[in-house]
Structure 1
């Protein structure tokens, strides 16, 4: 008799889980197809529970001291050329210019800047894709030894949070490298086979912190010093890191998981060159994050929902009053446990999208009452057996 009742319990838990997934699918379809819900949809797209992990994580031990940032501020081209020459004289592994020189300016300063770029074999320049076109520096600055990478960071739209990174696009003659990938290759942190194998699909960026996590200099400090030992054998990223008024300066700033505001982000939090530095640090350490794909995620969500329903249906059957009192407590504890597991996995470089697992498990508990109405009706019509009856 006991085995028979347990069989009914497991069957009810399974069918209630299936019902939960069907209802969730219908709710999701409604949610994404009603235009007046678009602001809410966009808000939730830009929110991940795991952002808390990055917003509170400032682990200097995981950084590479051989990745150095130089804030170019609004320096003119003569100052940039002088800074490139000073940096090159320190024998760095590579120098990345996160700058686009779209137009010609003064012939004299342009010629000096071009000569500075051409004289260093380890300089990586930047370009970016805009709609269906490619935006490069003016052809005047093209050199025979040119090495360049695309600086596009946003994969999903202007206001999206930068969480993912694609390091290599295309194949063979049409192959393109991301800016950080090209620097990692030039510095010898990775080789071409590694890039081909690991970086052709979107991978989560393993953020270690904002600009203060990295050793950084202002361009004025570079120009004022003759000898900077820290630059030797380092990878130098030259880009914009603000010009004094950091609170309201959003030039080349992006939303990232480092933002302390989880929802309703208003002001971008991280400069583009810092994001490139985080990516480069990840590649230098070969500390990539493995993303659990959609199918295994929903398999885990199904298992989680099923197990919590076995427990909840059994409690509901024994004492519905106790179930009603403890239901919200169980849901809260379940959310905390699942979120904690997701953060532990992230510490082990495994990225699990825990939101669908949490939401489906919580919805499953709410569906027990509706499932009871369904089996009561089926019992009257077809003598359907259920653990709840």
Structure 2
């Protein structure tokens, strides 16, 4: 289905501006009274070669309301799940006097052929404290209720429901923001995200850019497709719209898998008893057809309902049904029928003595 652009979010390219240039951008943006300004850039230390730029940036950050900088969670050496991180890195204190921060860490699927960003967390623990993600802190300024719903979700890790690339958000390039002739009235009341999109938008760059499931060349691709600030915009959009991707629980997935397996064993048994000559052909057609249908259903439900079906156990059930059916016919069926026959014989052998006992009991009473 076609996804419409998110008009709540505006992305601004900071390119390779120095700190004085970033300060000038913030000044122009703040004049339009956005709801919040998020800056996906670190200012770890003062610049000895440009103290004037540091002063300008520190001053504009101090007097601009509703600014959020990024922080970075540092991996812990411990295996304690309660504290997956042991420190939080922030910008230098001279730049953080009047700002909030949210961690910008993203989750990378390093088991894939390419490092792909599919998932995100909304909060993490470090050194006994709790940190919130950059998009969540931004959402708290525009829609606190939506941010609270995000933090209350049961999932520790969320699958990102991507709205799309840069084209799905209003965006401005470096020179547009600094050009006094540019009309920036669209920024009023919006979330403005400042981050790196290349020297200019569209110019080739491998800096702060990642693979995503939206990559047009998902097979055989060679270049990552989405800058970090656009990924943050997608996560923020998901939070504001509540468009989460829910997923089937492990318990439900196993139950569905068992149901598929049992149903197929019964179906295969019926086919074997009625159409024995056609059994192998029909079994193969059914297995192939069901496998394709399960894959199709997974894709359609994900696309139409933003629901992630876990039908791996069901596929396993389809794959194993032939083996389980043969095992039932060759071994289990004989054992079950033998046990039933033995139980019947025991019942029959007990019946005469039971009648004798009844007669003797009646005679005693007489």
Q: TM-score range by the shorter chain?
A: 0.7 to 0.9
Say which of 205, 226, 232 aligns to 1:276: 232
Q: Does residue 76 in structure 1 map to residue 18 in structure 2? A: yes
Task: Identify if the C-alpha distance between structure 1 residues 267 and 367 changes in structure 2 by more than 3 Å, giving closer, same or farther.
Answer: farther
Task: Work out the CA distance in 2 between the residues paired with 1:268 and 1:384.
Answer: 63
> Would you say the 8 A contact 2:36–2:142 is kept in 1?
yes
1:151-166 matches, within 5 Å, as 151-154=104-107, 157=110, 160-166=115-121
Counterpart Cα distance in 2 of 1:157 and 1:322: 46
Report the Cα distance in structure 2 between the residues aligned to 1:70 and 1:174, rounded to whole angstroms.
32
Distance in 2, matches of 1:220 and 1:103, equals: 26
Task: Give the aligned partner of residue 94 of structure 2.
Answer: 140
Residue 364 (structure 1) aligned to one of 311, 314, 321: 321
User: What corresponds to 1:349 in structure 2?
Assistant: 306
SS in 2 for 1:124: strand
What is the correspondence of 1:218-229 to structure 2 with a 5 Å cutoff? 218-226=173-181, 227-229=183-185
Deviations 1:272-330 (A, max 9, x none): 11111111111111222322221111111111222233223322333344232233432
Structure 1 pair 283–369 and aligned structure 2 pair: CA distance change class (3 A) = same
CA–CA distance in structure 1, aligned partners of residues 45 and 123 of structure 2: 28
Tell me what 1:313 maps to.
269
Task: Answer whether contact 1:378 1:384 (CA < 8 A) is retained.
Answer: yes
Whichever structure has more strand as a proportion of its residues is 2
Query: Structure 1: how far apart are the matches of 2:220 and 2:254?
Result: 27
| Structure 2 residue aligned with 1:87 | 29
Distance 1:241 1:365 in 2: 53
The answer to whether the 8 Å contact 1:58/1:208 transfers is: no
Partner of 1:240: 196
* TM-score, normalised by the number of residues in structure 1: 0.74
Rate the CA distance shift 1:323–1:275 in 2: closer, same or farther, 3 A: farther
Matched residue, 1:182:
137
Q: Comparing both chains, which one has the higher relative contact order based on Cα–Cα distances under 8 Å and sequence gaps of 6 or more? A: 1
Gaps of 5+ in 1: 1-56
TM-superposed CA distance for 1:192, in Å, is 6.1
Further displaced range: 364-373 or 351-360: 364-373
Q: Contact 1:289–1:350 at 8 Å: present in 2 too?
A: yes
Alignment partner, residue 230 of structure 1: 186
Give, in whole Å, the separation in 1 of the partners of 2:219 and 2:165.
Answer: 19
Are 1:204 and 2:146 an aligned pair? no
- Normalised to the residue count of structure 2, the TM-score between the two structures is 0.78
1-side partners of 2:2 and 2:71: how far apart?
Answer: 30
Q: Residue 95 of structure 1 aligns to a residue in which SS?
A: strand
Larger radius of gyration: 2
Runs of 4+ in 1 over 4 A off after TM superposition: 155-160, 244-248, 261-266, 376-379
Q: Equivalent residue for 2:75?
A: 131
- Report the alpha carbon displacement of residue 355 of structure 1 after superposing the two structures with TM: 3.0
